[in-house]
Amino acid sequence: GNSVTQMEGPVTLSEEAFLTINCTYTATGYPSLFWYVQYPGEGLQLLLKATKADDKGSNKGFEATYRKETTSFHLEKGSVQVSDSAVYFCALRRGDSSYKLIFGSGTRLLVRP
């Protein structure tokens, strides 16, 4: 079946540290991949996306590259800020014109000053 696996949190970093949150997926066909972020007390927001292999999604200093060979979509940021503290969700949407998002379990990031 289709599924998304994320590294368990919480991930605790100091400000300006390098961030990696691992995400791997299992899917039939050619899925689209997404990272959503949920800030405290707020709803899910789309952070970035990639629709085909080798695409790189980027936004607000975050990046993720769609790696078909390793079925991965790891989220990275070179220098995190306190304001990046949130829960990050990796998700996929199957490539056969499906609409359903399948989410990972989420990874909580805490950035300390």
Partner 1 sequence: GAGVSQSPSNKVTEKGKDVELRCDPISGHTALYWYRQSLGQGLEFLIYFQGNSAPDKSGLPSDRFSAERTGGSVSTLTIQRTQQEDSAVYLCASSLAGLGRGYADTQYFGPGTRLTVL
Instruction: Report how far residue 75's alpha carbon sits from residue 52's, in angstroms, rounded to the nearest whole number.
Output: 16
The Cα-based distances of 16 to 61, 63, 83 in angstroms read: 12, 16, 11
Smallest gap, in angstroms, from Cβ of residue 60 to partner 1?
16
Smallest gap, in angstroms, from Cβ of residue 45 to partner 1?
7
Smallest gap, in angstroms, from Cβ of residue 85 to partner 1?
18
93 binds partner 1 (CB under 8 A): yes
Residues 6+ apart with CB under 8 A from 16: 79, 80, 81
1 binds partner 1 (CB under 8 A): no
Number of residues that bind partner 1 (CB under 8 A): 23
